[in-house]
Chain A
Amino acid sequence: MYAQMVKSENTDSGPELDAFQARIDAGEKIEPKDWMPAGYRKTLIRQISQHAHSEIVGQLPEGNWITRAPTLERKAILLAKVQDEAGHGLYLYCAAETLGVSRDELTEMLLDGRMKYSSIFNYPTLTWADIGAIGWLVDGAAIMNQVPLQRTSYGPYARAMVRICKEESFHQRQGYDIMMKMAQGSEAQKRMAQDALNRYWYPSLMMFGPSDKESVHSAQSMKWRIKINSNDELRQKFVDQTVPQAEYLGLTVPDDNLRLNPETGHYEFSEPDWTEFFEVLNGNGPCNKERLEARNKAWDDGQWVRDGMMAHARKKAARAAASKVAAE
């Protein structure tokens, strides 16, 4: 779940809108050429791009460990996983482009800070166990949100999600597998695993965004089926799923208030520190600066490559046109 605090746009009213809402209510998919309210389009662009940006920026914390992966196999798995994230970014930018924006425009908005990416990628990966924790917790949280989004109302987004979800569940398993190896390993490895859980638990809970009970944006997005479940519902589901997994690993979730409520069958847990969450969104997370700097550097350093390739494509086209004229 890489879309947080996506502001939804309310929109005009009228018979077209009623017909549009009726299609959504009937479970139909909206396709790029169909009529859609301006607010629906804008909200989707924001949400899909935020998700795409998160995939691209999300390459960085995990990429940080590719060159230090402990075995050839772990290195291959991690490299394939980070490559998948780039692929997810690509599908999602393509899905956003069907709404009438270009990938370059969206990239520039990420790079100059006008568009956001998920808060989670502003946390550092300090040990190999963090790679396990990211797969287990971060991809686990992402799946909670993305599985329902396979049924979202916008066709290209829903179809992108189908592909992405298949890969994400593999990512989560590989993360859990890393944690398992470490939790069953040496004392130092166990300590590393516990430390990673300590640092990634609350930031993972923040991924769902603050409670949206009062949020008008959420209500509008749910009506449009851009958002399927509330943030709190998903967070609860995540905690319920994850706590037994931590217990199985022999690790302790860093929350003294955590308890299973026998009546509801759900875990009760502490809220993350929302002040920290807003600080991270506002640019004050531990790695915001490094993440954006790295993306800006990649973009700026790559300018000559993109220009060179375009120049070559133009030359090639001109040569092809000239030889066609000569042949005629």
Chain B
Amino acid sequence: MGDHLFEFLLRQGDNTLILSHRISEWCGHAPIIEEDIALANIALDLLGQTQMWLGLAAEVEGAGRSADDLAMLRDAWDFRNSILVERPNGDFGQTMMRQFLFDAYHVELLNKLVNSADERIAAIAAKSLKEVEYHVERSASTVIALGDGSEESHARMQAALDDQWTFAGELFETDAGDHALNDAGIAPLPSSLRVGFEVRAMAVLGDATLIIPETTFAHSGGRSGKRHSEHLGHLLTQMQWLQRAYPGATW
């Protein structure tokens, strides 16, 4: 169970860490100051959640590593985030579409995790849920505004959805570890979150006048760590650079 739990916590912390990192790349470059501030807020929330998830992962592992060690000193194959969140930002529409797809999954997950049999997980989920309820409200309204906006914004949002949809499926991938945690009442089966996700996605994307691609294909390999995209390695070279270049230094 310990291994499954550690893996589960890495999946949570790596999703929030990598997505936070991507969003933080917008800082100073967003289309409107208000959006710049809002994106930084979301990146900060996710970073705070990362500290909690990876902090607990380090504690559960019991190998003397810290949350920072996990973030800064693992190589790509040890990361357990889904491929969706490591993909480059693209334009603002692609960033917001990725955000909405992730938020719509995230809010379903946290809604279940607040009742986890593991009190530490329930506490992190309760704190995160307050933030993520706002994230999904905001990303949904942005997707609707831009989907139902000008001809150009509509076309860009449709392209963003077409591009990202097949990366959302991985969030619901379910393995033996997930079953073990579900049996112990610690975490829901990811596959069980799909219905809630789809109800929300259909409503929001419908209001955005966007068409969901007709495919059941889903990319995979991030949450198992078997095959990340090429993008993750580049992200890590930047994120981990100081820790790698000056081993053992304190900052």
- B25 contacts A70, CB within 8 Å? no
Closest A residue to B22 using CB positions: A67
- Stretch of A72-80, A142-150, A168-176, A240-248 on the interface side: A72-80
The total of chain A residues at the interface (CB under 8 A) is 50
Q: CA–CA, A309 to B48, complex, Å?
A: 30
- A83 contacts B33, CB within 8 Å? no
| Residue in B21, B37, B145, B149 whose CB lies within 8 Å of A83 | B37
The total of chain B residues at the interface (CB under 8 A) is 51
User: What is the distance, in angstroms, from B22's C-beta to the closest C-beta of chain A?
Assistant: 9
- A68 contacts B152, CB within 8 Å? no
- B31 contacts A301, CB within 8 Å? yes
B28 interface hit (Cβ, 8 Å): yes
- B30 contacts A302, CB within 8 Å? yes
- Stretch of B105-113, B122-130, B179-187, B237-245 on the interface side: B237-245
| Residue in B30, B43, B250 whose CB lies within 8 Å of A298 | B30
- B24 contacts A70, CB within 8 Å? no
The count of A-to-B residue pairs whose CB atoms sit within 8 angstroms is: 151
Most buried by B among A182, A301, A302: A302
Most buried by B among A63, A70, A298, A311: A70
Q: Which of B220-244 contact A (CB under 8 A)?
A: 238-239, 241-243
- A309 contacts B145, CB within 8 Å? yes
Q: Which residues of A contact B28 (CB under 8 A)?
A: 56, 59-60, 63, 82, 86, 294, 298
- Stretch of B64-72, B191-199, B211-219 on the interface side: B64-72
- B146 contacts A68, CB within 8 Å? no
Q: Which of B30-87 contact A (CB under 8 A)?
A: 30-37, 40-41, 43-44, 47-48, 50-51, 54, 67-68, 71-72
A306 interface hit (Cβ, 8 Å): yes
- Tell whether A297 pairs with B29 under 8 Å between CB atoms, given A83-B41, A128-B242, A312-B146: yes
Q: CA–CA, A132 to B91, complex, Å?
A: 31
B27 interface hit (Cβ, 8 Å): yes
Q: CA–CA, A315 to B250, complex, Å?
A: 54
- B150 contacts A86, CB within 8 Å? no
- Tell whether A70 pairs with B243 under 8 Å between CB atoms, given A305-B153, A312-B145, A312-B149: yes
A7 interface hit (Cβ, 8 Å): no
User: What is the distance, in angstroms, from B168's C-beta to the closest C-beta of chain A?
Assistant: 22
Q: Which of B6-38 contact A (CB under 8 A)?
A: 17, 21, 24-25, 27-37
- Tell whether A63 pairs with B152 under 8 Å between CB atoms, given A71-B251, A87-B37, A185-B250: no
Q: Which residues of B contact A67 (CB under 8 A)?
A: 21, 24-25, 238-239
Q: Which of B124-160 contact A (CB under 8 A)?
A: 144-146, 148-150, 152-154, 156
- A73 contacts B37, CB within 8 Å? no
Q: CA–CA, A304 to B155, complex, Å?
A: 11
| Residue in A59, A66, A307 whose CB lies within 8 Å of B149 | A307
- B251 contacts A66, CB within 8 Å? no
Q: Which of A79-98 contact B (CB under 8 A)?
A: 79-80, 82-83, 86-87, 89-90, 93
B249 interface hit (Cβ, 8 Å): yes
| Residue in A72, A80, A181 whose CB lies within 8 Å of B67 | A72
9 example contacts (A-B, Cβ-Cβ < 8 A) are as follows A59-B27, A70-B249, A86-B28, A86-B36, A301-B91, A305-B35, A305-B93, A315-B148, A315-B149
